[in-house]
Structure 1
Amino acid sequence: MKNSLVCILSLSLLLFLSLPSPSLSDRCNPQDKKVLLEIKATFNFNNPYYFSSWNPNIDCCDWYGLDCDLNTSRLIALTIFGGNLSGKIPAAVGELPFLKNLMFRKLPNLNGTIPSSIAKLKNLRELRLSWTNLSGPVPTFITQLTNLYLLDLSFNYLTGSIPPSLSQLTNLLAIRLDRNKLTGEIPDTFGKFTGTVPDLYLSHNQLTGTVPKSLGDLNFTELDFSRNKLVGDISFLFGRNKTIQIVDFSRNMFEFNLSNVKFPASLTSLDLNHNMITGTPPEGLTALNFQYLNVSYNRLCGQIPVGGKLQNFDMYSYFHNRCLCGTPLPACK
């Protein structure tokens, strides 16, 4: 009898221990869970696996693509990456007030415009809405996200001009607006960032006009303005005291004399192909530790300087210039 009682008590204890702990089951904030279920309900998707863990009977901090703060149990990251879901970004994302990272990426059937409710996410640090079918303008309300340090709206179908007010975001480390259908000029305010100087990726758009001279007042690390319709002289973006490392100004209509341009020691990648650049490559290029160089399809003339890394690149980095010669091109006559 005594042994039977011990067995019953042991089984009861095991059953009790196997039950979910109230502190763990309640870890997910109820309001966050409610909003997440609303977000799930707005999408049409042919891949139920993606949202299979988004079960109201499971702690939402354990759902796929989410991250909660260990101390507050509030949702701080929402990542929806890949998959065959379709629909629009639901306005409900703005009801996740502790969110720091928001990503909708590689979702070709995600359409519509960027919802204004995102402006409510005052704690947001990373906003990645890329490789989707989003359209409409780059919204000016993004300026309200003052803690933002990464803005990635690349690989979409965004139209209109670039909002000058983005320069008010003093914590930005990078702005990615590449691979859209943006028009107009690069804002003059992009040379007036008062906090960190962000990397600018504006390639594969339909931007026109000259690059504002104000950008020459800042020390950028990476600039990519390639495949636009930009014109004029951009030599002011270089200089021995600059910190620029990676530059891609290819496939525009830039026109300046390369001969007297002074390049910083920090420069490791320079792509100027398919422009209207004249002059001769300066001797100063031989002092640089290039990992990539392309000055093809311009109007350069004279001998390629000998030394440094310049002869490490093949002829395709130099060909289709007016009268450029010397290794790796044919010898000068």
Structure 2
Amino acid sequence: MPTAFLLKLFLLLLACLSCPEDQKQALLQFKSSILAATTSFNSSNFELQSWNSSSSCCRWLRVECNDSPNSTSRVVISLDLMGGLYIYPSPEPPLPSTILAPIFHIRSLKWLYISNNNIQGEIPAVGFANLSNLVSLDMSGNNFSGSIPPQLFHLPLLQYLNLDRNSLSGKIPEEIGNLSRLQDLSLSGSRFSDGMLLSVLSLKGLELLDLSDNDLSMEIPKEIRNLPNIFGVEQIMHIKP
């Protein structure tokens, strides 16, 4: 059987598979939460017009599903919402972090990008505990406040964590050393005051560490510069003296 025909058949089968109804409803609830939180939101401007009840969420813009046709449905594995929820400049108040609640029902998520959306409030602790399949999480460029919840440090597959440019504060928790697969850790531009530097030594796969523009006073331990996969000393961004 010709390869081209098999490929077309495979793609047709994927197109026929729908995402799970519970994941579709979670995303529609998420969209409704945004609409309720701001009057200036226009879904057509942010590619969310495709999010509707009459089509599979695997066909929606900014949503990606897995490519395996081994079951009766495909599952959502990626949400790319970078800059897609908030109009800049806008007279609207920041979006509350509670709008993220429906997303935490999508336990199959591997990649979640919600940067640059002016989301304000504490990082939802219990919610992220549900996303144990996360590999990459980008929440940079928002206005998250408070401390980093410990639930983020119990995501066993996490490789990329970006919390740059928020209003997070307190000590950087020692538990960050639990993220054994972490490769990229970016915590710049917040209000962290000392903390976890020695626990980073257990992150043997770490390639980039950015702690710049915080309220840290301690020096970088020399041992961190010797981590086997750090690109070089220049990849360990400066700490304020």
**Same fold per TM (> 0.5)?**
yes
Structure 1 gaps of 5+ residues are 1-22, 77-98, 246-265, 277-333
- Comparing both structures, which one devotes a greater share of its residues to helix? 2
CA distance in 2, matches of 1:209, 1:243: 23
Question: Structure 1 residues 226, 237: closer, same or farther in 2, change over 3 A?
Answer: farther
Matched, 1:111 2:89: no
The reply to whether residue 128 of structure 1 matches residue 113 of structure 2 is yes
- The one-letter code matched in structure 1 to 2:153 is S
Higher RCO, 1 vs 2 (CA within 8 Å, ≥6 residues apart): 2
Matched, 1:101 2:78: yes
State how far apart, in whole Å, the 1-side matches of 2:131 and 2:188 are: 24
CA distance 1:35–1:192, shift in 2 (3 Å): closer
Deviations 1:268-304 (A, max 9, x none): 54653x843xxxxxxxxxxxxxxxxxxxxxxxxxxxx
Residue identity in the other structure for 1:221: E
Secondary structure of 1:191's counterpart equals helix
Please report how far the alpha carbon of residue 168 of structure 1 lies from its aligned counterpart in structure 2 after TM superposition. Answer: 1.6
Q: What RMSD, in angstroms, separates the aligned Cα atoms of the two structures?
A: 3.3
Is structure 2 residue 171 aligned with structure 1 residue 185?
yes
Contiguous gaps of at least 5 residues in structure 2: 1-12, 88-93
Q: How do 1:87-236 and structure 2 match up within 5 A?
A: 99-106=76-83, 107-109=85-87, 111-114=95-98, 115-141=100-126, 142-193=128-179, 195-219=180-204, 220-236=206-222
Q: Which has the larger radius of gyration?
A: 1
Q: Distance in 1 between matches of 2:195 and 2:48?
A: 47
Structure 2 length normalisation: TM-score?
Answer: 0.70
* Identity within the alignment, %: 29
User: 1: CA distance between counterparts of 2:14 and 2:53?
Assistant: 14
| Aligned equivalents of 2:48, 2:178: Cα separation in 1 | 43
Report the CA distance between 1:243 and its aligned residue. 2.8
Contact 1:187 1:212 in 2 (8 A): no
Contact 1:177-1:203 at 8 Å conserved across structures = yes
1:151-203 Cα offsets, whole Å, 9 max, x none, are 1111100000112332221211011111100010010112343x313421100
| Conservation of the 8 A alpha-carbon contact between 2:27 and 2:103 | no
Say whether the 8 Å CA contact 1:103–1:128 is kept in structure 2.
Answer: yes
Bigger share in strand = 1
**How far apart, in 1, do the equivalents of 2:80 and 2:19 lie?**
20
Q: Which one of 8, 21, 44 corresponds to residue 48 of structure 1? A: 44
Report the CA distance shift for 1:129/1:232 in structure 2 as closer, same or farther (over 3 A). same
2:132 counterpart letter in structure 1: T
Shift of residue 67 of structure 1? Answer: 3.8
Aligned length: 210
Once the two structures are TM-superposed, the CA of residue 38 in structure 1 deviates from its matched residue by 5.2
Counterpart AA for 1:222: L
Give the drift of 1:46: 3.4
Q: For residues 271 and 169 of structure 1, do their structure 2 counterparts lie closer, same or farther at Cα, with a shift above 3 Å needed?
A: closer
Provide the rounded CA distance (Å) in 1 between the counterparts of 2:102 and 2:42.
27
> So what's the TM-score if we normalise by structure 1?
0.53
Task: Note if contact 1:29-1:73 (Cα within 8 Å) is conserved in structure 2.
Answer: no
Q: 1:226 to 1:73 in 2, by over 3 A?
A: farther
Query: Cα 1:156–1:122, aligned 2, differ >3 Å: closer, same or farther?
Result: same
1:64 aligns with 2:42: no
**Deviation, structure 1 residue 104:** 2.1
**Larger deviation: 32-41 or 235-244?**
32-41
Q: CA deviation at 1:211?
A: 4.3
Distance 1:188 1:270, change over 3 A: closer
Deviations for 1:60-87, whole angstroms, at most 9, x for unmatched residues?
A: 54443344455257454xxxxxxxxxxx
